[in-house]
Structure 1
Amino acid sequence: MDKMISVVGHAAIDLLFDVENIAIHDESHPIIDYHEYFGGGAANIAVGIAILGGRTQLISAVGGDFEVSGYEAELKNYGVDLSLLYRLENEKSTRAFVFTDREHHQSTYFDWGASRNLKELEPPKVDFVHLATSDSTFNAKIAKIADFVSFDPGQDLITYSREDLESILDNTNILFTNKHEIERVCKMTEKSFSDILGMIETVIVTYDAEGSRIYNNGNEIPIPVVTVTAVDPTGAGDAYRAGFLLAYTRGYPLEVCGKIGSTVASFAVQSIGCQTDLPTWDIMEKRYQDNFGTLESSN
């Protein structure tokens, strides 16, 4: 049976607006169209793992509107375990408001909603945990008591204190960042990249169209992107993490984990919405084989 992968962070409702122009002070512009999707980094990863056939549970704070929004039913339908949700009935659920103009410039507003209370809550003891974008204090607390920690500070890195960041890194087994975030991690901790590699067993850094690199015990493993016609890059990183983590817990070598992550990410960019086109394991395996050859059985 697959290991349970606990994922900490946001379950957000994403409201995506297409606008003529992004308004500045004292301006008003028409909305061309808008769409509502289910998102949030942690929920995206949990859904990705569940669709691939893995076992996963979401650890998140949600508001009293979570059930009526339809999001709860959607996650249950995918098979995500919601038994560790913090339900705060007097709060609103997390939402992201993204405005995109005709030149693809964006302006984003993020309402943490119920998630802003995470710093005051006590985390559960779990075995294998992935820390997605979330409250840094909560992440630091759960990292200290989990048996295995995967950490992805993401865009919330700017909200971390040095103390919380260093505390999490001291307990991290796998670190995910992009090329900009790893520079910020080094700057915030006053450590070199070599120092970080010496602290953490496995570090994965993504480089956009150049793919990703896995650093492990002095080895550097390049992972190419799987090329498809991209419609929306949002959610690609979450899909990569879902594929990588499930493959990792199933005992695949790191290079194969990275290639599976890259393959799952290629599905996420094919349509708008982070959870709208994620593959099952069989569908992923077909594209993997088309790009990398036979996917051997795990150990």
Structure 2
Amino acid sequence: MEKVITIVGHAAIDLLFDVENIAMHDESQPIIEYHEYFGGGAANIAVGIARLGGSCQLISAVGGDFGSSGYEAKLQDHKVDLSLLYRYANEKCTRAFVFTDREHRQSTYFDWGASVHLKELEPPVIDFVHLATSDSTFNARIAKKARFVSFDPGQDLVTYPRENLESIIENTNILFTNRHEIQRVCEMTERSFEQLLETIETIVVTYDAKGSIIHNAEEMINIPIVPVKAVDPTGAGDAYRAGFLLAYTRNYPLETCGRIGATVASFAVQNIGCQTDLPSWEEMQERYEKHFGKLDALT
């Protein structure tokens, strides 16, 4: 029986803006175009896993507009398990306002909406959990209860009290960060990267167009990107995590997990919207084998 992957974090409505330049203090910049899509890091990963044929459930706090917006129906269509959602009829869903300039640099603002209630809640006991961007107190509580923890602090890292961050780190098996976030984690915990590796089994650091590096005590694995014509980088990291985590639970080697993650991410950047063009397992495998060679069958 395939392992269920539980994803914790936001199911958000994304407003994505293309701008000439990211506005600095006391200045305005023209908006070239904008779009509204379903997103939120946790929901993006859940949809990515479901599209690949994996079993996943979402833990998130949602507002009364979760149903009226069509978001609930879409997740149900993807067969994402929504039984563990916290529902607040008088609140709004989380919304993300993402501004991307010509150089693919981004600035993001969040309206937490119903997610502000997560800090008040006591989470369930989970077997295999991925902690996406979410309330740090809730993430710290669930990390202590889960058997296996994957953690991606993302851009919410700046909101984490050191106590919560260290509590999660102590219970983390896989840490996902980009090159900026890993420096912040080291600074906030006052640990070197090598000291983090003494606590965390596997650390995955992404480097945008340069790919990613998977670190553990035994090896350091370089994973290149799968080159495609990129339209929108938003959601690439979530797609990478979806592919990596599903491959990991299917017992693929770490290098293969990274390559599958990179392949899934290549689909996400081809269109605007984090969930717009995520692949099935067969579509992922076809592109994977064009770039990396034969993908071993599951045993």
2:125 aligns with: 125
Alignment pair present for 1:97 and 2:97: yes
Per the alignment, do residues 68 and 152 of structure 1 end up closer, same or farther by CA in structure 2, a change over 3 Å counting? same
2:267 aligns with: 267
Structure-2 separation of matches of 1:54 and 1:75: 14
1:211 aligns with: 211
Alpha-carbon RMSD across the aligned residues, in angstroms, is 1.9
| Alpha-carbon distance, 1:90 to partner | 1.3
Maintained 8 Å contact 2:104/2:233: no
1:11 aligns with: 11
Structure-2 separation of matches of 1:187 and 1:26: 30
1:176-191 counterparts in 2 under 5 A? 176-191=176-191
Per the alignment, do residues 91 and 262 of structure 1 end up closer, same or farther by CA in structure 2, a change over 3 Å counting? same
Structure-2 separation of matches of 1:27 and 1:201: 45
% of aligned pairs identical?
Answer: 76
1:141 aligns with: 141
- After TM superposition, the structure 1 stretch with the greater mean CA deviation from structure 2, 213-222 or 25-34, is 25-34
TM-score for both structures, normalised by structure 1:
0.94
Structure-1 separation of matches of 2:21 and 2:222: 40
Structure-2 separation of matches of 1:102 and 1:216: 35
2:277 aligns with: 277
Structure-2 separation of matches of 1:57 and 1:45: 10
| Alpha-carbon distance, 1:237 to partner | 0.5
| Alpha-carbon distance, 1:101 to partner | 6.1
Per the alignment, do residues 276 and 243 of structure 1 end up closer, same or farther by CA in structure 2, a change over 3 Å counting? same
| Alpha-carbon distance, 1:103 to partner | 7.5
| Alpha-carbon distance, 1:196 to partner | 0.4
Per the alignment, do residues 28 and 159 of structure 1 end up closer, same or farther by CA in structure 2, a change over 3 Å counting? closer
Per the alignment, do residues 206 and 63 of structure 1 end up closer, same or farther by CA in structure 2, a change over 3 Å counting? same
1:88 aligns with: 88
CA deviations 1:78-117 (Å, max 9, x no partner) are 1100000000111110001234567867553210000111
| Alpha-carbon distance, 1:188 to partner | 0.4
| Alpha-carbon distance, 1:217 to partner | 2.2
1:63 aligns with: 63
Per the alignment, do residues 22 and 81 of structure 1 end up closer, same or farther by CA in structure 2, a change over 3 Å counting? same
Structure-1 separation of matches of 2:126 and 2:212: 28
| Alpha-carbon distance, 1:18 to partner | 4.3
Maintained 8 Å contact 2:263/2:284: yes
Structure-2 separation of matches of 1:54 and 1:157: 28
Structure-2 separation of matches of 1:133 and 1:235: 13
1:228 aligns with: 228
Matched residue count: 299
Structure-1 separation of matches of 2:24 and 2:178: 30
SS at match of 1:238: helix
User: Aligned partner of 1:197: which letter?
Assistant: L
2:160 aligns with: 160
Per the alignment, do residues 63 and 214 of structure 1 end up closer, same or farther by CA in structure 2, a change over 3 Å counting? same
SS at match of 2:243: helix
| Alpha-carbon distance, 1:37 to partner | 0.3
CA deviations 1:114-148 (Å, max 9, x no partner) are 01110001111111000000000000000000111
CA deviations 1:198-242 (Å, max 9, x no partner) are 111111111111111111223111111111111111111000000
Unaligned runs of 5+ in 2: none
Maintained 8 Å contact 2:17/2:34: yes
User: Aligned partner of 2:184: which letter?
Assistant: R
TM-score for both structures, normalised by structure 2:
0.94
SS at match of 1:66: helix
1:14-29 counterparts in 2 under 5 A? 14-18=14-18
SS at match of 2:65: coil
| Alpha-carbon distance, 1:272 to partner | 0.6
- After TM superposition, the structure 1 stretch with the greater mean CA deviation from structure 2, 254-263 or 105-114, is 105-114
| Alpha-carbon distance, 1:19 to partner | 5.6
SS at match of 1:67: helix
Per the alignment, do residues 7 and 24 of structure 1 end up closer, same or farther by CA in structure 2, a change over 3 Å counting? same
1:237-276 counterparts in 2 under 5 A? 237-276=237-276
Structure-2 separation of matches of 1:16 and 1:27: 20
Structure-1 separation of matches of 2:249 and 2:105: 38
SS at match of 1:140: helix
